[in-house]
């Protein structure tokens, strides 16, 4: 049994509603604001440092080109590796409590990173940020699904949540560009400190506590194996893309991941109180949403990575202009999410998932046309607009399908599964697409000497040809998400409405 309580008034087991403030005012939307701003902070921090990497490299901390990527990867590794553990800890020990603890850790890590005086100090701070995010993210989404029980209000709340989740990466590039150009790279980290503190204070004032009161013994063996397995998997993907796949270190990381994740599967099948309840995996719609999250993450992460390099290196954009180039994408994600949250109660998640991923695939297909002489208005803007609109449509439905029919006591781990799918998919997709694009680029060796005026043109053509092939593979991956959601997600509009009110099991 899962219970929810006002920190000051409501006893465990009370109805699942947000606490009123004096005067009887409904503060659910204030609770949503707290949870949403925390999600924005978590998502944008995956990309906010990207446009500051050159400044970080030149800051005298000891970074090389090879080690610089760990400013990004340290966050991804910790976030992706600890998500499932963070979700189950939130279910067991209190979602608001874990949310606040994660926010405090995020604030401290951001402060340390912003004041870092060495390479090791900054990378460690980024990893600690990722750990804080892994605790906060599943707790925040599960709290949202507990606070909002009414169908229409929950749809609206999930719409905002999905827009932030899908658009936060673009916001990170914009904010990172502005802060780096006008202040210092350190502010891309320090800006998190006041946001995280607001999240802590807001959660204490407006967000009710919620936990699984019926939890048995904590699954220590499951926690150790899945966390170690996910960390090894993400590490292998990151190092494989960096060093090459035919390396002993890469093979060893994948071997450890297979052993630990295989052990986790055996443990979960035998434990009564398992970290990942098998009943969630038997829910076809939840499983389909999680697999779709993995494939969407694999297709989407490459957009920001490839296009940020393309805009800066080929088109000559500065940090602010690069960030602002993604602004229409952020706005259209919000438009798509608003449309989806309005329609989901009428048509159910599956049509929106299939339609949204198909529209996004069309946008990715347009990006296969990029060339050294492409223009923003002629190529990038139409493509990014389609991708953004499609993702806005899909993410609301994806989030709804991932939590539909999930008991309150499992909401944290269900939220973590959705986030983990996206993070692992993003790492996998970026590794694969980078390898594909690099292979294409390396195959197009310039035919003239470096001092020849045509040399730079041939290099740029090789680079854009590689990225175009990467976008072609991303298009295929996004279409795979369309097929998966069509075959596996079976939440009808009636079931979605009932699930939004808190009680239907589907799949």
pLDDT of residue 150: 55
> Distance (Å, rounded) from C-alpha 247 to C-alpha 66?
16
The Cα angle at residue 503 between residues 500 and 507, in degrees rounded to 5: 85
DSSP for 449-488, please give it: -TTSTHHHHHHHHHHHHHHHHHHHHHHHHHHHHHHHHHHH
pLDDT of residue 105: 95
**What six digits make up the tokens of 38?**
């925390």
**What six digits make up the tokens of 332?**
């259209």
Among 475, 339, 327, 474, residue whose Cα is nearest residue 396:
339
> Distance (Å, rounded) from C-alpha 497 to C-alpha 372?
48
From the CB of residue 294, how many other CB atoms can be counted at a distance below 10 Å? 22
Strands (E) located in 179-253: 209-212
Q: Which ranges constitute the DSSP H helices of 15-118? A: 28-44, 53-57, 65-68, 70-93, 95-114
DSSP 4: E
The full length of the chain comes to: 507
SS3 203: helix
Query: Taking a C-beta distance cutoff of 8 angstroms, is the pair 191, 37 a contact?
Result: no
Q: Which ranges constitute the DSSP H helices of 244-348? A: 248-270, 278-281, 284-309, 319-325, 327-347
pLDDT in tens, the chain (507 residues): 444 444 433 333 333 444 444 344 568 788 888 888 888 888 778 778 877 777 887 888 887 755 677 787 788 778 877 877 787 788 778 889 999 999 999 999 999 999 999 989 999 999 999 899 888 888 887 788 777 765 677 777 777 776 776 667 677 777 887 888 788 889 989 989 999 999 999 988 888 887 766 655 667 787 788 778 877 887 787 777 666 777 888 889 899 999 998 998 888 777 766 667 777 777 777 888 888 888 998 888 777 778 877 887 888 887 778 878 888 888 898 888 888 888 887 888 888 999 999 999 999 999 999 999 899 999 999 999 999 999 889 988 887 787 776 666 666 677 777 777 777 787 778 778 877 888 888 888 777 777 777 778 888 888 889 899 999 999 999 999 999 988 887 765 555 544 444 433 333
Query: The tokens 């071997």 sit on which residue?
Result: 255
Query: Taking a C-beta distance cutoff of 8 angstroms, is the pair 196, 85 a contact?
Result: no
> Distance (Å, rounded) from C-alpha 401 to C-alpha 158?
11
The Cα angle at residue 238 between residues 465 and 253, in degrees rounded to 5: 135
Q: Please name the residues in contact with 49: beta carbons below 8 A apart, sequence gap of 6 or more.
A: 56, 71, 72, 75, 126, 176, 185, 188, 189
Continuous segment of H or E residues that includes residue 5: strand 2-5
pLDDT of residue 293: 87
CB-count exposure of residue 401 (10 Å: 0-12, 13-18, 19+) = buried
**What six digits make up the tokens of 300?**
């989407």
Among 291, 139, 309, residue whose Cα is nearest residue 208:
139
> Distance (Å, rounded) from C-alpha 351 to C-alpha 335?
17
């Amino acid at each position: 049994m899962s219970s929810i309580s006002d920190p000051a008034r409501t006893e465990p087991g009370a109805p699942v509603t947000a606490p009123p403030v004096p005067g009887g005012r409904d503060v659910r939307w204030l609770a949503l604001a707290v949870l949403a701003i925390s999600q924005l902070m978590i998502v944008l921090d995956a990309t906010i440092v990207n446009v500051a990497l050159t400044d970080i490299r030149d800051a005298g901390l000891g970074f090389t080109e090879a080690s610089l990527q760990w400013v990004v990867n340290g966050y991804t590794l910790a976030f992706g590796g600890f998500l499932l553990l963070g979700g189950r800890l939130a279910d067991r020990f209190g979602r608001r409590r874990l949310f606040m603890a994660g926010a405090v850790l995020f604030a401290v890590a951001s402060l340390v990173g912003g004041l870092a005086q060495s390479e090791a100090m900054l990378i460690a701070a980024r990893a600690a940020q990722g750990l804080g995010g892994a605790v906060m993210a599943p707790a925040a989404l599960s709290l949202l699904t507990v606070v909002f029980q009414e169908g229409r209000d929950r749809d609206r709340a999930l719409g905002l949540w999905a827009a932030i989740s899908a658009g936060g990466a673009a916001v990170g590039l914009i904010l990172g560009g502005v802060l780096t150009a006008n202040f210092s790279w350190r502010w891309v980290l320090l800006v998190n400190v006041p946001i995280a503190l607001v999240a802590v204070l807001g959660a204490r004032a407006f967000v009710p506590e919620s936990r699984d009161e019926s939890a048995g013994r904590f699954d220590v063996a499951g926690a150790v194996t899945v966390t170690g397995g996910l960390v090894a998997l993400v590490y292998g993907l990151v190092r494989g893309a960096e060093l090459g796949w035919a390396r002993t270190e890469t093979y060893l990381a994948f071997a450890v991941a297979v052993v630990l994740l295989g052990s986790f599967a055996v443990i979960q099948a035998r434990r009564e109180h398992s970290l990942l309840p098998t009943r969630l995996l038997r829910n076809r719609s939840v499983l389909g949403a999680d697999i779709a999250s993995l494939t969407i993450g694999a297709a989407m992460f490459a957009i920001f990575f490839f296009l940020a390099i393309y805009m800066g290196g080929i088109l000559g954009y500065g940090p602010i202009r690069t960030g602002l180039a993604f602004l229409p994408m952020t706005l259209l994600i919000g438009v798509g999410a608003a449309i989806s949250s309005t329609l989901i109660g009428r048509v159910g998640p599956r049509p929106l998932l299939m339609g949204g991923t198909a529209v996004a695939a069309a946008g990715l297909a347009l990006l296969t046309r990029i060339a050294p002489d492409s223009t923003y208005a002629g190529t990038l803007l139409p493509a990014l607009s389609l991708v953004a609109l499609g993702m806005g449509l899909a993410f609301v439905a994806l989030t709804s399908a991932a939590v539909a029919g999930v008991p309150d006591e499992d909401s944290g781990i269900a939220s973590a599964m959705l986030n983990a799918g996206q993070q692992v998919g993003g790492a996998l997709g970026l590794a694969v697409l980078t390898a594909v694009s690099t292979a294409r680029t390396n195959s197009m060796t310039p035919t003239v000497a470096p001092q020849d005026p045509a040399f730079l043109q041939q290099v740029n053509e090789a680079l854009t040809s590689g990225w175009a092939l990467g976008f072609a593979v991303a298009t295929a991956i996004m279409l795979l998400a369309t097929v998966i959601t069509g075959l596996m997600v079976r939440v009808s509009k009636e079931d979605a409405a009932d699930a939004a009110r808190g009680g239907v099991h589907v799949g």
